[in-house]
Every structure is written in structure tokens, then in C-alpha cells.
Structure 1
Amino acid sequence: MFDKVYGCYYRAVKQILREAVQKPLSAARMEEIVRACGFQESALTILPKIKEGTWSFGEMDEQGNFCPAVSHVPLLPLTYLQKSWLKALLSDPRIGLFVEDEERKYLEKNLDGVEALYSEDDFYYFDRYLDGDDYASPEYQKNFRTALLALRVGKPLFVAYAGKRKGREMVLDGDEGTGQHDCRYKERPAGRCEERHPGNQRNGSGDCVTHEALPIQMQYSSKDDKFRLCCLERFRGDFSREVVFNMARIRACHISRQEIRTVPKGPRFPDGLRCEEPVTIAISGERNSLERCMLHFANYEKHTEFDRKRGEYICSIHYDRADETELLVELLSFGPVIRILGPEPFLCQVRERVRRQHELLYGKV
């Protein structure tokens, strides 16, 4: 999409210059850089031009090492296409989650006069739900940035999460400027979630339960237009229990001062949420059902092949467990043009939902 000056040749030469500024580079090291930044055959084009001085970036010394002609690596300016793309990003309602208001104003000022590459009106989301997250909410933005910071630095979060169960009041002591707090809890009846901030201020924010969890991954659903925070919740002294928080239901969150004693071994998401077996469906092909299924389930990982004996398409759909109910409803919406073949636990849910729907409309079978 961007200009060729940001292609693999330029990235390879830039990396060579960056390292050569520190110390002369051997031919073997330059070849390693070129192969890492470009293609296997890129070294056949780039290295001769550098060694022979065709590109005038430097010269080879008596030991056969490359010495650059510059004392620092020059910065590449943004192309107009990149500026146009950045201008388009500033119109995205989610940009406020990643960029502070001052940064946004600074970018808008410097991109004044640049035409945006696209606008939000250029897109039509025919299958997106209309109850997406409120990205303009100051509370949402604050919680999102705090969660993102905890994810980056690898520290646990104390999360006040909206729920219907009996919870505990979260009492926080610490420095509001650093965003780090010590937490203690006391039991409270369900009915209100009260957070005590430094300064003894209280904010009532509905029923909620407090959690101590270690962020592992931030997920975004284009269809739901919602963010989810995948975490490992503290369970029996360790961060071991998988939990997913909808960002819109987080009422408050703060980074813990406590260091993690035992680091969880290996990534737990997204494989931790992945279904054990994919849902297998048979697509008849009638009424453009194949095209409709491929388009409708484009956001899922899937494998499709044609069964010549039956004259139908067999499609295996992989999904996250959190999306199981949504996938079930979507499959049922296709009616008789598809058949759900398995696995058996998923089929049991299908039969139960169809039975309840039949009882609702026509009475018990």
C-alpha cells in the first residue's frame, strides 16, 4: 500500500547502516541482515551494489568490512499516502483509546490540508450489531488505557466488573498519578459497586464484582464492535483461571503494585479459548448458500471442501468458546440450506434451542 521506499530493499539497507554506524560490518553479517529483511535472493542484488559503491553508502575497508559514509541513519519522511492513511485513522472512533486528546490535536494540526484516504461513510457493515462499545466515554477510555498498560508491562489488574453476584467493595490506597494502587476488600451486599479512590471519593456504578487478574491479550470483535480483555484470574494463589472481561462492563480498574512471583508458563490465549473440535456443517449450495456462508462466516477460521458423492460442501468452522452461542444462532438462521453435522455437544445445544423455540410457538411436542 505504501511507497516503495519503505519496501524490503530500503529496510535492509537502513538496518545495515544502523549497525555499521556502531562498528564496521562483515560481509557475512550484511548477508544475514539482507536475508532477514528481504528475500533469499535479495542478497544477490543488494550486496554487490553496496560493496562496489554503486549506491554510495560507504566503502569496504582492507579487512573486507563495510564502513558507512554517514555518522547517523537519516530518518525517512512520511509519504503523502501514509499521511493520508493516518488522517483517515484519526476519524476512527476507536482512535481515542490509543491516542490522548493532546496527541490527537497535534496530529490533526500537522495533517491539516491532507485528504483522508477514506472516511467511515465509505464502509457499510451489514452484519454488525448496533450496540457496540461507547468509545467516546471517558470512563471507557481510562479503563482501556489502564488495561493496555497492564498488558504491556505484564502486571496484574484489580478490576471492578459489572455482574449480578454478591461482590466485595474495592478499597484502593496509592498514588493516582502513577495509576498504581494497593487493594484490600471487604464483603458488601449486592446492589451497588462502590470504589473508594484516593481522597475518599466514592463513585456508585451499579452491581459489580472485583477480580484480580493478569491481562494476557486484548481482543476485538468486528461483528460485535466490542473489545474483550483475556486474563488469567488469581485462583488458589496463582494466576491460572481463564477469564474474559467485556471492556464495556468494566467499571474501574487499577494496576497492582505487587510483583508476580510465578510467571504463567506459555501463552494461554487464544488457544485457551479455542474450541476443542470445530463445528462441521454441510452446505447444499442452493440459493447461493455457499457464497452466503463464506461471506457470513468470513471472520472465522474454516476449511471447506466439496463432497462429490453427496453433492454438497463440507465446512469445518473453528471458533472461540466465548462465541459459541453467537455461532449457534447464526447457523440456525440459514435454515434448511445447511445441516449441522457435529460435534455432538454442539448438536445437543442445537436440539435444545430448537425444542424451546417450538414449545414457545406451538407448545410442547
Structure 2
Amino acid sequence: MELFSEIYSCYYQVVDCIVREAETRSLTKKEMENICTRHGFAESGLYILPKLLGGEWPLLKHDNEGGFRAVTDGHLPLPLTGLQRSWLKSLLSDSRFRLFFAEEELLILQEYVQDARALWEPEDFYYYDRYTDGDSYTSEEYRAHFQALLRGIPRRQYMTISYQSRGGNRITHHYLPLKLEYSLKNDRFRLLALPRNGRHSIYITTINVGSILKVTPLPEYDEEEIDFVGLIRKSYYREPIRLLIKNQRNALERAMLHFANYEKRTKKIDEDTWECLIYYNNSMETELLIEILSFGPAVKVTGPESFLAQVKNRLQRQIDLMGGVPSRL
């Protein structure tokens, strides 16, 4: 765990859960796989367990019960390192990060890192692969709308939302906000919400947060459990995207993190190749296409034919822009 990205990160937290549990009782490999799935990503065990069970991370040992016990016998609270405080100070300069905190919380965080040196500034980055007309994250109105949605989602609180459609019309309706998503390509947040009259429908409305004109919380809450995953699954195409991932330049781990927000299934084909199935719908298609192409030759698309045709078309367009090299696709 020598890299900063692994200190206290998702993988760190998963390992911490395994070690804490193994301090109290014997753990089987199956139980550790369940912990990985519950606290990490579906494929976290592919990376974590070989290192734990193979001894590369010497935190567990075989016991007399046929399982594994922790070599430690107690945990202490861990303070932030100087590097972490510098990292946190850089995050505080990101206007998207600041959306998730109230002003008083931001003041506390800023005071905590005021003497730290930032690792980077926003102007240090140039994003060549995303649109430049993203949301206005520093707008007071935008922050107010975002914070209202952020409060309403875990409460299952109905809201009256007015927004401007693509055609320029003002639309007002009662919604149950379900989830906020971020589009890296468009640099925009979008809201997934269920219309009030669509309680038993598969229809989920997607609203760009930047197009919202007004958010009014209602004194009404949804008491029933909504099968959000089930609603999304009903919108998927019948056939998932099929990828073959060659673990070159750490491609597997990068892919698992990059596609973490998509439902997927991954299995090992041979010593150096994994097959990944990504389930998607029409609203995800273009963004997924761009994200997959960003991996270059480390990821190969094998289906479905409709998506594969889009990959070939996009690559041919790029070739034509670079001088019209004859197609070999």
C-alpha cells in the first residue's frame, strides 16, 4: 500500500473491514469475497484477495480452523498525513467538490488545511476531451438547487421542479429525486427523478441540473421502497457491451474504476485477459463509446454488432480527419 491513492481509499477501507473482522474470528475466502463486494466494487476481490491471501500484503495468516486470522489485534484512529491534507486542499479548489458541502462545512475544512500546500490548482489541467460549456458550479442559484436535491434524495422527499427543456419551454412537475449523476464528457450534473404520476412506471426523467429554474421541497415523502436498480435495468438494451481487457499498463484496475458507475460483470479468461460485460441504455451509449475508446488497444470491443459498428464508424472518422488513411476496420 505504498501509493497515496491506496491510503484510506476504497481498497484501503475494504481491507480494513476484512482485517477488523479477522481480528475477532476466522474468515473464509468466500466471506472475504462478500466483504469486497459489499464495501467495494463488484470486482474489487480480483485485485485485493490475491495480495492478501498470497502474502504480498502480510496482514492475514492461516489458522487452525481452515480460515484466516489477522496478524494485528487492535486498531487505532489514523490521522490525516501532510500529503492528504495537501490533497484535500486541492480538492477544495474544485467547484464540483464544494457542491456537496454547506458553507459552514467548507469553512471548517478550509481552516483545517490552511497551512498545507496544494498539490495542484484547477488551472494546471487542460481537458481536451470534454465540452467547455459545463454547468456553472459557482452560481449561488445552482448551489442552492444542488443542495436541495442532495438533501431530498436520502429523505425520499417529493419536490416541485421547474426546468427549461431543450426546446426552450418551461416545464414544472412534481418529482421524487432518485440520484445525481456526473457526466465527465459534458461536465454537467444530471438528476434522475421519478414523476409523481409515474410511481409504478418504468419511466425515469433525466434533468440537467443546470437547466433547473426552481426547486421547491414538498412536505410529502415516499414511504415505499423504490426498486431503482430494477427501473434502470428495464431500460437496458437486451445485449450488453462485451469487452476483452488485456491487463497492460494496469488496464484492468483502470477499467474497473473508470466504469464503476455502470452495472457490469467481469470474469477472467486467461492469465492476462478478462471479459467485461457492461449493461447500458440509450442515454449512456455515446458517453460509454467515448470512454471505451480512451483505453486504446488495451480494450477490445467484441459486441454487440450495433455498438461495434459505432466504434468502427468513430475510428474511421478519426482516420479520415488525420489524412484519409484507407480503412482497415
> For the superposition of Structure 1 and Structure 2, which TM-score range results when normalised by the shorter chain?
0.5 to 0.7
Q: State the AA in 2 paired with 1:117.
A: L
**Equivalent residue number for residue 43 of structure 1:** 69
Query: CA distance change for structure 1 residues 233 and 83 in 2, over 3 Å: closer, same or farther?
Result: same
Structural RMSD (CA): 5.2
Correspondence 1:91-240 to 2 at 5 A: 91-163=93-165, 207-235=169-197, 238=200, 240=202
Deviation at 1:238, TM superposition (A): 4.6
Correspondence 1:315-326 to 2 at 5 A: 319-324=280-285
Q: Find the aligned partners of 2:287 and 2:116 in 1 and give their Cα distance.
A: 41
Q: State the AA in 2 paired with 1:235.
A: N
**Equivalent residue number for residue 244 of structure 1:** 206
Deviation at 1:326, TM superposition (A): 5.9
Q: Find the aligned partners of 1:339 and 1:265 in 2 and give their Cα distance.
A: 31
Query: CA distance change for structure 1 residues 142 and 269 in 2, over 3 Å: closer, same or farther?
Result: farther
Q: State the AA in 1 paired with 2:227.
A: K
Deviation at 1:257, TM superposition (A): 1.0
Whichever structure has more strand as a proportion of its residues is 1
Residue-by-residue CA offset, 1:234-258 (whole Å, 9 max, x unaligned): 2266575311111111111122212
Q: State the AA in 1 paired with 2:128.
A: F
Q: TM-score, normalised by structure 1?
A: 0.53
Query: CA distance change for structure 1 residues 112 and 238 in 2, over 3 Å: closer, same or farther?
Result: same
Q: Find the aligned partners of 1:8 and 1:85 in 2 and give their Cα distance.
A: 18
Return the match for 2:218 from 241, 251, 256: 256
Are the counterparts in 2 of residues 218 and 228 from structure 1 also a CA contact under 8 Å? Answer: yes
Unmatched tracts of structure 2, length 5 or more: 40-51, 53-58, 62-67, 244-248, 267-274, 293-299, 314-329
Deviation at 1:81, TM superposition (A): 1.8
Which sits farther off after the overlay, 94-103 or 147-156? 94-103
Are the counterparts in 1 of residues 236 and 279 from structure 2 also a CA contact under 8 Å? Answer: yes
**Equivalent residue number for residue 265 of structure 1:** 227
Unmatched tracts of structure 1, length 5 or more: 17-27, 51-56, 58-73, 166-205, 282-290, 304-313, 332-337, 352-365
SS of alignment partner, residue 156 of structure 1: strand
Deviation at 1:233, TM superposition (A): 1.6
Query: CA distance change for structure 1 residues 126 and 31 in 2, over 3 Å: closer, same or farther?
Result: same
**Equivalent residue number for residue 25 of structure 2:** 31
Correspondence 1:292-307 to 2 at 5 A: none
Deviation at 1:131, TM superposition (A): 0.9
SS of alignment partner, residue 141 of structure 1: helix
Q: Quick check: which has more Rg, 1 or 2?
A: 1
Whichever structure has more helix as a proportion of its residues is 2
Residue-by-residue CA offset, 1:260-302 (whole Å, 9 max, x unaligned): 2543235346535543334689xxxxxxxxx9xx99xx95679
Query: CA distance change for structure 1 residues 82 and 260 in 2, over 3 Å: closer, same or farther?
Result: same
SS of alignment partner, residue 84 of structure 1: helix
Deviation at 1:12, TM superposition (A): 6.3
Q: State the AA in 1 paired with 2:102.
A: E
Deviation at 1:109, TM superposition (A): 2.5
Q: TM-score, normalised by structure 2?
A: 0.58
Are the counterparts in 2 of residues 341 and 347 from structure 1 also a CA contact under 8 Å? Answer: no
SS of alignment partner, residue 116 of structure 1: coil
Q: Give the number of aligned pairs.
A: 253
Deviation at 1:315, TM superposition (A): 10
Query: CA distance change for structure 1 residues 271 and 347 in 2, over 3 Å: closer, same or farther?
Result: same
SS of alignment partner, residue 267 of structure 1: helix
Q: State the AA in 2 paired with 1:322.
A: S
Which sits farther off after the overlay, 132-141 or 261-270? 261-270
**Equivalent residue number for residue 172 of structure 1:** none
Residue-by-residue CA offset, 1:200-247 (whole Å, 9 max, x unaligned): xxxxxx731112222222111111111111122222665753111111
Q: Find the aligned partners of 1:347 and 1:242 in 2 and give their Cα distance.
A: 28
